[in-house]
Amino acid sequence: MHTGLVIIISPSITRALVRVLNLLDGVGANFSSGSIVTRSPSNRIMQSLRMEFVSFKMFIIALSLMGSVVNSKETSEFKLPTNFKPVSYRLDVTTHLDDKFMFEGVVDIKMTCIAATDTITLHSNSLDIDTKSVVVANSGENVVPVSSVTFDPKKELMYVKSTENFKPGDEYVLTIPFTGNITDDLVGYYKSSYVDKENNQTRWLAVTQFEPADARRAFPCFDEPAYKATFKIRLGHKKEYTSISNMKMMKQTPIPSQPDYVFDEFEESVPMSTYLVAYMVSDFAYIESDNRDDEVKFRIIARKDAADQTELAKNAGPLVLKYYEDYFDEKFPLSKQDMVAIPDFSAGAMENWGLVTYRETALLIDPDVATIDNVHRVAEVIAHELAHQWFGNLVTMKWWTDLWLNEGFATYVAARGVDFLYPEWNSFQIETVQNFLRVLDLDSLQSSHPVSVAVGHPDEIAQIFDTISYTKGSFLLHMMNTFLGEDTFKQGIRNYINKHKFSNAEQDDLWNSLTEEAHRQETLDKNLTVKLIMDTWTLQTGYPVLKVVRDYSADTVTLSQERFLTIKSNGTDNKSCWWIPLTMTTSMDADFNQTKTKSWLNCENNNLTIPLAKDNEWVIYNMQMAGLFRVLYDTRNWMGIVSTLNDPNEYDTIHTLNRVQLIDDSFSFSQIGDLDYGITFQLLNYLKHEKEYAPWLAALGGLGPINSLLKRTPNQGLFQNYMQRILSPVYSRFRDMTVELNNFEEIRFKNLVIAEACRHRIKDCTEQALDLFSKWMKTTDPDKNNILPRELKPVIYCQAIKYGGVDEWDFLWERYQRSNVGSEKAKLLSALGCSSETWLLNRYLNWSLDNSIIRKQDAISVFYSVARSDIGFYVAKDFLYRKIADISEYFQPRGDRVGSYVKAIGSQMKTKEELDEIQSFINRSSSYLKGADLTTKQTIETVKINTEWTTKFDHKIINHLV
């Protein structure tokens, strides 16, 4: 889908492991750079034992770092017992739209008994089931007596109890008839609608969204990823509609009891998890791709009025699918691939096998209005979802703990897919930069979580569809690709897929495949394993800072590491340790292309001193940001780097990606007090001759938090003046809004600079925006004649609404209502929150909780758009405090959505009084914030960070702004 490790171990096992550790430690081993030095080098048995010990000890170290240990019951109580394994489902569902919005059906589940029991336990949630009609039969079709059918709504479980024991090895068929409501909750089997432009009629459709744990809302099932089975689906609906599912339709037959209805019967599926089952009933249009590969029929499905927006998806989909077949060396196993644009959709997209569902903005492109970012977004999401067809669908994680195997990999490979589609964009490098910056920020919080994280209740599962699972997971794969090499990495992935296809796997299975291939190709020392290295990155929360201290008299450099935290720990994280891949260059060499790891800083060698020639002005580590860590140099080394950067003829001898890291690291170290802000601002002076997009992205990203912390304070004007000065040279390069560019990076660069120039009130920027908007308002038929530069419309819209009044707001609202293009509607919604009129903002926020005015999927975007402005912050905060009960009810059953509202407000708070205020609000609103505890914890920590920064640096930083 495109949105601390808690180790499950009992105290008794912990004590046993410690005893074993102490016993092994007594054997006598010294560790250095990942190799073993024994007291009896000739003793190969001892050598082997100690190598095993390294891996074991790393495991124990990882356990000690997790921060919290929970009893396995806390996770397992929400998991199914393993008495039964489903083999196949026969699912009949009849959908009633237009009038009663409900569905009725029956499911036959063929299953094998694994262990003797008298009870079948499976999932069911919000379904009406006639318990007297539940039937169990054995393979001979003899009915097994059912003594009771009961439910546990809290655990979303259904129990079918027999008067006799089910026998291990025997097959049984469980038949359950059910009915349910087609809700507007955007989960389970839900309804969506649109207005048919031809006759102005509201048209309805019903579609599924089952990930992570909502198939149980549509039919009773074994709703966990490890329970793969085949599905034979029949969909009943009125004749005026069509239906689709994961597989090709075989035939349509009338339903004798309902003359207006037909049954569509689909081919039996390949083995798959319940969260990937999908079906839809609609009156949509079907647009078939012209791909020459007759093996896979490719269709784009959308509202008839949006059929002309499918060209990009129609072309890109088959190309990316073929690219992945080659990359994974595994054919796509289905005969068709549908991609559907849904008007109401909670996430960005969902990778259901053979039937990928998308938000309209993530699939449809109108070439007349689309920006380059819209095109990139659609290409990226298509590539992400199609990557899942292998990583997630063909090979599925055993449990949600390893969600990152799905999402991290799809994110990583999607960047490669986009790079394949548009090689001229250089998008892979930009994606690397964005991922690096995004991860390091969130993952510096104590309240972050490991990539591989134990989860139990469905609420916990939904919360880990986040930056850590997607973006950190993706960057760690990029890091592995770099230190293993492309050939090893790719072949290791192919071996993993081939070994586990149509089955389930976990993190260690991936590590094993990569290790075997790395040892075969000799790209990783035989004494090392991928597990030994990567467990330190996926089982621990956070990431390291590599400390680089030079002894200029001894011509040496000493390397050490510790966890990077924005609020420094009280000592609890001193034991954190990672295997850090070391790459470096000096001012003498300035060779930033040596990204292959030559050595490691590891957990047994965490204070490494090596020689370094004295005539090097600076040393820089982490070539091209190949590893996920920050680098802190001594002051003299920083000043050498600053000197080179500020030389207009020398700055670009430092690689673009390393300039990005130097900028971001300097901000972060200054924020926590490890580097004087004076050095950071001296470094930023070099921007006057920086010509590339990525370093500017990092610089403006680093200045953004300072802007937020100085907002609504007496010093906001000083910061604004500083920003005007720093932006002035680069703004002069891009200032003319009407000049359109063609290069992907140049377009993004211009968009970034113009947005910042207008935000910080460079007069010329605002004047241009208001003048262009005024001219547009006066055109005849402004919907067809949008004269604004397409790439800069978001900036111009926002400026016009901010400095305008009711007329401008109403004009843009009318454009929103009339627009038929999802991406354009999203821009308009965002801009409408820029108003400075408090009553308009209040009305807008109220509208956002009315699905008949603004789609539920867009409510959070509306709130964010209001909350980000100076005036809107107060309006949005007041709205959240007053309406928390309504907001919570509106988003049920997805409590994690409510957390986004709290985050939008809390992230901008920065005083002790505001910290007390938001903490008090969270405490008294706890019943409305169920399922959002991870977000609220991160929000509170962020406010504490902001408060600490304000106390320490608010007054000091002013000296650097004048």
Helix (H, G, I), strand (E, B) or coil at 99: coil
Report residue 195 as tokens.
């207005």
Catalytic residue among 156, 267, 360, 385: 385
Which of 940, 942, 936 minimizes the C-alpha distance to 463?
Answer: 936
Burial class of residue 910 in the structure, from the number of CB atoms within 10 Å of its CB (0-12 exposed, 13-18 middle, 19+ buried): buried
Torsion angles phi and psi, residue 272, rounded to 5: -155, 160
Which of 891, 881, 818, 878 minimizes the C-alpha distance to 849?
Answer: 891
CA distance 717 to 161: 71
Torsion angles phi and psi, residue 807, rounded to 5: -60, -45
Report residue 34 as tokens.
């990942």
Secondary structure of 222-260 in the HEC alphabet? CCCCCCCEEEEEEEEEECCCEEEECCCEEEEEECCCCCC
DSSP-assigned letters across all residues of 596-632: S--EEE-TT--EEEEE--TT-S-EEESGGG-SS-EEE
Angle at 127 between CA 124 and CA 130, to 5 degrees: 100
CA distances from 846 to 107, 170, 709, 814 (A): 42, 57, 28, 18
CB 172 within 8 A of CB 166: yes
* Interacting residues of 589 by C-beta distance below 8 A, sequence separation 6+: none
Burial class of residue 696 in the structure, from the number of CB atoms within 10 Å of its CB (0-12 exposed, 13-18 middle, 19+ buried): buried
Burial class of residue 74 in the structure, from the number of CB atoms within 10 Å of its CB (0-12 exposed, 13-18 middle, 19+ buried): middle
Report residue 919 as tokens.
């903490």
Neighbours of 187 (CB within 10 A): 22
Burial class of residue 150 in the structure, from the number of CB atoms within 10 Å of its CB (0-12 exposed, 13-18 middle, 19+ buried): exposed
CB 110 within 8 A of CB 173: yes
Cα 867 to chain centroid, rounded: 22
Cis peptide before 153 (omega within 30 of 0): no
CA distances from 746 to 106, 601, 713, 738 (A): 56, 38, 34, 14
Which of 661, 654, 631 minimizes the C-alpha distance to 559?
Answer: 631
CA distance 931 to 902: 13
CA distances from 331 to 296, 300, 335, 509, 770 (A): 10, 21, 11, 21, 53
Q: In the chain, what is the greatest distance between 2 CA atoms, to the nearest angstrom? A: 93
CA distance 252 to 262: 7
Paired strand residues for 63: none
Paired strand residues for 288: 299
Burial class of residue 522 in the structure, from the number of CB atoms within 10 Å of its CB (0-12 exposed, 13-18 middle, 19+ buried): exposed
DSSP-assigned letters across all residues of 284-330: -EEEE---S-TTSEEEEEE-GGGGGG-HHHHHHHHHHHHHHHHHHT-
CA distance 960 to 962: 6
What letters, b where the CB count within 10 A reaches 16 and e where it falls short, cover 611-625?
ebeeebebbbbbbbb
- 360 catalytic residue (yes or no): no
CA distance 436 to 432: 6
Cα 340 to chain centroid, rounded: 21
Q: Which positions are annotated as active-site residues?
A: 385
